[in-house]
Structure 1
Amino acid sequence: MQPIPRFYICLILTLFTAGTGNAKALRIVSANGTLSEILVGLGLEKQIVGVDVTSTYPASLEKLPKIGHNRSIAAEGILALNPDVIVYTDQSMLSPAVVKQLNSSGKKLVAFKHEYSKEGTIRLIREVGAYFNAHAQAEKMVKALQADLAKIPAPANPKKLLFIYARGTGTLMVSGSGTSLDKMFALTGHKNAVSGFTDFKPLTAESLITANPDVLVLFSSGLESLEGMDGLLKVPGVANTNAGRNRKIVTMDGQLLTGFGPRLGKAAIELSLKVK
């Protein structure tokens, strides 16, 4: 049997890798922590050359160059990394000016819709997997996510939860309807203690006492910025709520709690167990 000429071997390999979509080492910049986590789950971590500051999981992403956060992201910092593709979501809050610059740069800019729901998370994983031609890896993540979601315990006594965004003792913000926190509370069978507004708004002692949450939820870093439980209880109005009187304070990692990504089920289970 005659040996196959080297030329034909190279041709076959070229045609094969062209069909996989992932064989070419694309240089990817991710402007969203959830997308970064999905990309890693798809087996593309080595192709990520830059991430935003919310890309904290897995921890190995911390070593990558940072492009900033939300509207502080500049096009120049991204383009300096010479990416082939830049990915973000409709929740990434890139400024219109930056999006325009990136679109006119000749680099591929891809936006994904990110809905804060079980269905939206599954759809996002599949769409990212489809774009990078990694369907099998995406379905593996979806299967694991669905298994976690099935384990979320239903609360025997639903509670009123209030999320407080804190970065020191300056202006504190609370999370209203339609936010990722609001959707996470609903996913665990609990209620948002505040309503009547969307997005975030400043916390006041009066509104806090009126809302009277059973549990206060903060990012772990947020509670640390207030110097712990004692510091939080000094915030006007906190001690006058059921949560304050019972010292019922729950903290979680920010990206885990709000990411609505592959770890959504794990996040909901953790929150449920801490609120219980």
Structure 2
Amino acid sequence: MKCSIYVFIIFLGSVLSCKSDHKEEESTNRIVSLSGAISETLAALEMSDQVVGVDVTSTFPESLKLTAQDLGHVRNITVEPILALRPTLVLGLRDDLNPDVTKQLQDAGVRVELLDQQYSVEGAKGLVRAVAEIVGSQKAEAVNARIQEDLERLQNINKKLKVLFIYARGAGTLMVAGEKTSFSAMVSLADAQNAVTGFEDFKPLSPEALLQSNPDVILMFHSGLASIGGVEGLMAVPGISQTTAGKNKAIISMDGGLISHFGPRTGEAVLALNKALIPFDKP
């Protein structure tokens, strides 16, 4: 009799354990993140293990590329590769994801949450809070506190340096960032100013525009500078050597995701740019 009771207890424990494991499995998200900023946020909220798919801009942390499927560029993504990952949640930015793809995902029963992004400190903090609320994390304010801590370490730049961001993909594709871009906002937060005004988004780089803006500093992605042959390749671009930045070799290159995503690393990015600008703060 005692043996039977003992066996029954073991059986009951096994059943309850299976139910608990099943419940835990059901409560775990399978997240597809179609934004580098959102992917960084999920990592900062310690939810990387729930991410099964990412877009090409999700470069940080690097471990995501090892554990999540790379789905390519968000603007070219189709619904089939996403559905193949059996997602319970798809996160993206409102202006990026094709509305047809959004509808197809929703029709398939997948929860889709599209967020707005603002290129500001409050916008970055708001993105963190929004993602945390969607995934049920309580860590948003701790992440945002780290953003603020970095910003409080900024140094004042006496001269209002004019910074020109150049996007490069080889010598044949050179664009400059105008107003209302993430780069213009990043430069302003770092206590400098965008060297070009009068237009929004991006425009092709021209020798005339270079001479007119005459930047004190040129800012580029690491990858962009490498694509044109480094500093020497940049100096060979018509007009560059005639600018103040060119004459002083005032060239700064930084990680693309760090300075463009406006996610949980915003404070880190602003601080890094601010520190890089300090040596060029001369009378």
Give the alignment's TM-score, normalised by structure 2.
Answer: 0.87
Q: Does 1:160 align with 2:145?
A: no
Instruction: Tell me which amino acid in the other structure corresponds to 2:179.
Output: S
Matched, 1:51 2:57: no
Q: Counterparts in 2 of 1:57-136, with a 5 A limit?
A: 57-63=60-66, 64-91=68-95, 93-135=96-138
**In structure 2, do the counterparts of structure 1 residues 233 and 222 end up closer, same or farther at CA, with 3 Å as the change threshold?**
same
Partner of 1:27: 30
1:139-178, aligned counterparts within 5 Å? 139-178=141-180
- 1:146-168 deviation digits (Å, cap 9, x = unpaired): 11111122211120001000011
What RMSD in Å do the two structures reach over aligned CA positions? 2.0
Q: CA deviation at 1:105?
A: 2.5
Determine the structure 2 residue equivalent to 1:184: 186
Q: Which runs of 5+ in 1 are unaligned?
A: none
Equivalent position SS for 1:68: coil
1:97, distance to aligned residue in structure 2 (A) = 2.8
1-structure distance, mates of 2:244, 2:235 = 12
Distance 1:81 1:210 in 2: 50
Kindly provide the amino acid, as one letter, of the partner of residue 46 in structure 2: G
For 1:79 and 1:149, the matched residues in 2 are separated by 40
Give the fraction of aligned pairs with identical amino acids, expressed as a percent: 42
Name the SS for the 1:161 alignment partner: strand
* Cα distance in structure 1, aligned partners of 2:38 and 2:160: 31
Task: Output the CA distance in 2 between the equivalents of 1:97 and 1:196.
Answer: 34
Distance 2:99 2:241 in 1: 42
Q: How far has the Cα of 1:119 moved from its partner?
A: 0.7
Q: Which 10-residue stretch deviates more, 222-231 or 68-77? A: 68-77
CA distance in 1, matches of 2:28, 2:268: 31
Counterpart-to-counterpart distance in 1, 2:204 and 2:48: 38
Letter of the 2:274 partner, please give it: S
Is 1:231 paired with 2:206? Answer: no
The SS at the match of 2:176 is: strand
Q: How many residues align?
A: 263
Contact 1:53–1:69 (Cα < 8 Å) also in 2? yes
Task: Tell me the distance in 2 between the aligned counterparts of 1:43 and 1:49.
Answer: 14
Q: Counterpart of 1:260 in 2: which secondary structure?
A: coil
Aligned to 1:202: 204
User: What residue identity is the alignment partner of 1:174?
Assistant: V
Which residue type is aligned with residue 180 of structure 1? S
Residue 81 of structure 1 aligns to a residue whose secondary structure is coil
CA apart distance, 1:239: 1.0
Moved more, 124-133 or 68-77: 68-77
Whether contact under 8 Å (1:152, 1:265) holds in the other structure is: no
Offset, 1:80: 1.8
Q: Equivalents in 1 of 2:30, 2:232: separation in Å?
A: 46
